[in-house]
Structure 1
Amino acid sequence: MSKEILINNNGFETRVALIDGGLTTEFWLERKKQSSIVGNIYKGRVQKVLPGLQAAFIDVGLEKSAFIHVSDFAEIERDVDKSQDVISSLLHEGQMLVVQVYKDQIGTKGARVTTQVSIPSRYLVMMPNAPELLAISSRIDDEEERARLQEDMKSINESNDEFGLIARTNAELIPQDLLEHDWKFLKRLWKKVAERIANQKTPSLIYSEFSLAKRVVRDHINENLTQITVDSHDIHLKVKKFVDDFAFEWQGQVNWYQGSRPLFDQFNAEDEIERILSKKVPLKSGGNLVFDQNEAMTTVDVNTGQFVGYKSLEDTAFKTNLEAAQVIARQLRLRNIGGIIVIDFIDMADDLHKEQVHKTLEEYLSQDTARTNVLGFTALNLMEITRKRTTENIRDVVCEPCNKCHGSGYIQTIESNTFKLFREISRSVKQFKASKIMVIAAPNLVEYIIDEHSETLADMEESLNKRISLQAEDSYGRDQYDVVLL
């Protein structure tokens, strides 16, 4: 099935959507002040060793110290007794340590780091601390293809003792010359990284992961991807150069979108993204899903709603659950929900029906790039899933606890409302003629724009060639505004 990537950038945030068969299946959001640091490599200093936890805090130059556990060390063998004080034999306060972030700071917790440094390219992953390693992604299950990749990587990396290699899932059926092209890129990159490790002070950033747009393109560009559409001229040029350098054989197109309608509106992705924040997700059959995200886990309740079926209660439950399994798999990706997920499917008496729902869920989750594990139905007929998440879910990025309901619900942050307002201004100007624009909004929203985004507002006035004025209205709530065209 053909896929497309949409990249929307407006100077203050980058939004990327993956469209698969006409449906938005994944969504990423990155703001300048909240960009992910997963994949970044730092030259850090051990700040404090905690023998009781078998862990340590590492100063890497960020606001909060990074956290490393003994199991995150490349030198630790799997059979080492981690109940012993191993961490003290590995680290001491003030020691220099090169680490890589594998989990962003989430909430009050600092970033999680590891000494097992790895840098991915399009088809390969470089492993500097394991020069003898030649491994294949477990998702490549054809034995002949695994053997072929093993031989190709051995041939490519034979004279190199600086890093080992892992073949990514994308490497399946890829010829040796393209794998070698990737390898040469990684070798050049590692030379630069090694020089920085040797010469830069502590603490400092040694290597920064690609921007969001480049990361998504790198990880999803294949023969099924037909086009990449970007609405920013600057990012369009950067993505096009990136594709020409690292995916020169790709037959798709990188398009610069210049339409009057916003990019996500044009491809019907905006409404789908807005629904990410909703607890209730409708099903085509008339049923619905209810997502309840808590700190410890996420629960999903499946309801028949208006769907009454055609034959029996068992038939109704089975058909609703089958549809729900597909939608849940997509929603987990869209919302970037991680941790423990418990699904309360509608009760089914037939074991064959349960097995089919289980297999359907596994099939659709297999398309997820995050590591997932379906544990099956419990004795209470609940389905348990675990999904690894390395960055904050979408709700936590764009929302904050509501002070009016004491944390029991969520509202969009004032920053999110500001960016939503800016998008509405751009949309209105493109659709209707006007000489100037007046924004009537809640006082706190007007104050926030003046204090934090006056420069952005000035840039918008210049790019739209329209004067934009702000007027505070005391009767408006914090998320209320009107765009008036004059």
Structure 2
Amino acid sequence: MKQMIVHCTQHITRMALLENGRLVEYAAERDQQQGLVGSYYKGRVMNVLPGMQAAFVDIGQKKNAFLYVDDVLHPHLDKQPSVKPSIEMLLQPGQEIVVQVRKEPRGGKGARVTTHYTLPGRWMVYMPFAEYVGVSKKISRESERSRLKGIGERLRQGEEGLIMRTVSEDEPLDAVEGDLAFLRAQWEMITRRSKEVEAPALLHCDLSIVQRFIRDAFNPQRDELLIDSAKAVKEAEAFLTDMAPEGYKPVGFYRGQESIFSAYGVTDQLHKSFSRKIILEGGATLIWDETEALTVIDVNTAQFTGGTNLEDTVTRTNLLAAEEIGRLVRLRDTGGIIIVDFIDMEREEHRRQVTDKLESIISRDRTKTHILGWTHLGLLEMTRKKARHDSAGFAPVICQCCGGTGKVGTWLE
């Protein structure tokens, strides 16, 4: 069973997703600092850089957005030219263009934007110019994949493209059709507004954090939603009424004196899951270090001794670690390159078991993740896409003295 726990304070909304009592996702958002990912802007091209095959676009933010040449070409690979043209042939300084944010600004970098437009709905993702129908890879039944692809081909018009989401499995035609009508209306509104305003201008915002998680990770008929704010309860019910007109499980309003996160064990799980050292069942440990370029996870047996021999003990430790790493990568929203230093195993069969375990847990993650395999040094490589970063997340504050290294330099006299 899934439980979605929402804690609202004066300026921050925090959301925790529990599966059978275990915390699997967490996010937070300040009221005045909603993320940019998914939002549409009418921007103005400021610089075109042939050497980088990219352009910088003013969308009204502090930093100009970055637009790479691949995000200007046709979204369907078969429609792209065999030889990639220069960015100068596609864009000119001063040109006005509608772009969608695909990656948040971070550090000294501006947002990453694209002209491969997408509008996610409950059952599908709408792409106004993609010209193809795709079906989620997580739908395994070939008969159902064919049915959904056929529905998509019948419903799409002209240059439209559709991706049928995992939750559309076994859904009737009328539900899918209603979702498409709503998304078409959204796109028409964006197009109409783009003709009425001057650049730079915001054309369309993505949903709030609660609405986004209801749309993407919530089953209205089965899962439980608990919120500690009467205003947020009304907003969630209004959104659910539009999204699930066939009915939904009532939204719970938490009135307890204790914090809702404490009452449901979220606070304790957050502290344990976001520590540098994570203790697993039986005493094994994970050491989790994040750098600018990659995340390194070290697996140690520590006090774990369960097993009939050394190889068995090591394999069981690594399997426990793989399960927890799969959960924590999703929970901590770790992105980029991830290197896992599992304990050395002698048998290829055992390495395959560990990889299979990790893949089975990661398959529940909505963010695209690739396990690349084992290196010659016995390290497991994987990558995970990360588009958002929390504006009010559960993040450590870097020490002003050591800069987060835990060490302060001294000169030897």
TM-score, normalised with respect to structure 1:
0.80
Deviation of 1:141 after TM superposition, in Å, equals: 2.6
| Structure number with larger C-alpha Rg | 1
Matches within 5 A, 1:3-18: 3-18=2-17
Task: State the match for 1:246 in structure 2.
Answer: 243
Deviation of 1:224 after TM superposition, in Å, equals: 7.9
Query: What is the aligned counterpart of 2:169 among 169, 172, 179?
Result: 172
Deviation of 1:393 after TM superposition, in Å, equals: 6.3
Deviation of 1:85 after TM superposition, in Å, equals: 5.4
Matches within 5 A, 1:184-195: 184-195=181-192
- Does the CA-based 8 Å contact 1:342-1:383 persist in structure 2? yes
Query: What is the aligned counterpart of 2:382 among 366, 381, 385?
Result: 385
Whole-angstrom CA distance in 1 between matches of 2:232 and 2:267: 20
Whole-angstrom CA distance in 2 between matches of 1:332 and 1:348: 23
The answer to whether structure 1 residue 340 and structure 2 residue 337 are counterparts is yes
Deviation of 1:232 after TM superposition, in Å, equals: 1.0
Whole-angstrom CA distance in 2 between matches of 1:161 and 1:311: 64
The answer to whether structure 1 residue 292 and structure 2 residue 295 are counterparts is no
1:381-422 CA distance string (max 9 Å, x none) = 111111111112699873343111134259xxxxxxxxxxxx
* Alignment gaps of 5+ in structure 1: 411-486
Whole-angstrom CA distance in 1 between matches of 2:75 and 2:69: 8
Q: Secondary structure at the match of 1:113?
A: strand
Output the amino acid matched with 1:57. F
Whole-angstrom CA distance in 2 between matches of 1:409 and 1:166: 47
Q: Identity of aligned pairs, percent? A: 39
Whole-angstrom CA distance in 1 between matches of 2:394 and 2:209: 15
How many residue pairs get aligned? The number is 405
1:13-57 CA distance string (max 9 Å, x none) = 111011001101010111235431100000000010001000010
Deviation of 1:276 after TM superposition, in Å, equals: 3.9
Q: Secondary structure at the match of 1:253?
A: coil
Task: State the match for 1:480 in structure 2.
Answer: none
Deviation of 1:252 after TM superposition, in Å, equals: 2.4
Query: What is the aligned counterpart of 1:226 among 184, 207, 223?
Result: 223
The 10-residue stretch of structure 1 (384-393 or 397-406) with the greater mean CA deviation from structure 2:
397-406
Query: What is the aligned counterpart of 1:371 among 357, 368, 373?
Result: 368
Whole-angstrom CA distance in 2 between matches of 1:34 and 1:349: 50
- Structure 1 255/7 Cα, relative in aligned 2: closer, same or farther at 3 Å? same
- Does the CA-based 8 Å contact 1:337-1:393 persist in structure 2? no
Output the amino acid matched with 2:180. W
Matches within 5 A, 1:67-216: 67-75=66-74, 78=77, 80=81, 86-130=86-130, 132-157=131-156, 160-161=157-158, 163-216=160-213
Whole-angstrom CA distance in 2 between matches of 1:162 and 1:198: 20
Whole-angstrom CA distance in 2 between matches of 1:224 and 1:10: 27
* Alignment gaps of 5+ in structure 2: 408-413
Task: State the match for 1:25 in structure 2.
Answer: 24
Output the amino acid matched with 1:243. L
Output the amino acid matched with 1:6. I
Deviation of 1:76 after TM superposition, in Å, equals: 6.9
Deviation of 1:65 after TM superposition, in Å, equals: 0.4
Task: State the match for 2:313 in structure 1.
Answer: 316
Q: Secondary structure at the match of 2:367?
A: coil
- Structure 1 237/162 Cα, relative in aligned 2: closer, same or farther at 3 Å? farther
Matches within 5 A, 1:367-446: 367-392=364-389, 398-409=395-406
- Structure 1 282/261 Cα, relative in aligned 2: closer, same or farther at 3 Å? same
Give 1 or 2: higher helix fraction.
1
Task: State the match for 2:61 in structure 1.
Answer: 62
- Structure 1 339/102 Cα, relative in aligned 2: closer, same or farther at 3 Å? same
Deviation of 1:295 after TM superposition, in Å, equals: 0.6
Q: Secondary structure at the match of 1:144?
A: helix
Task: State the match for 2:411 in structure 1.
Answer: none
- Structure 1 39/23 Cα, relative in aligned 2: closer, same or farther at 3 Å? same
The 10-residue stretch of structure 1 (352-361 or 68-77) with the greater mean CA deviation from structure 2:
68-77
Q: Which runs of 4+ in 1 moved over 4 A?
A: 76-82, 393-397
Whole-angstrom CA distance in 2 between matches of 1:212 and 1:396: 12
Output the amino acid matched with 1:301. D
The answer to whether structure 1 residue 261 and structure 2 residue 258 are counterparts is yes
Output the amino acid matched with 1:146. R
Whole-angstrom CA distance in 1 between matches of 2:181 and 2:87: 36
Task: State the match for 1:352 in structure 2.
Answer: 349
- Does the CA-based 8 Å contact 2:54-2:69 persist in structure 1? yes
Deviation of 1:286 after TM superposition, in Å, equals: 0.8
Whole-angstrom CA distance in 2 between matches of 1:69 and 1:376: 29
- Structure 1 59/397 Cα, relative in aligned 2: closer, same or farther at 3 Å? farther
Output the amino acid matched with 2:101. V
Q: Secondary structure at the match of 1:146?
A: helix
CA-atom RMSD in angstroms: 2.0
The 10-residue stretch of structure 1 (199-208 or 135-144) with the greater mean CA deviation from structure 2:
135-144
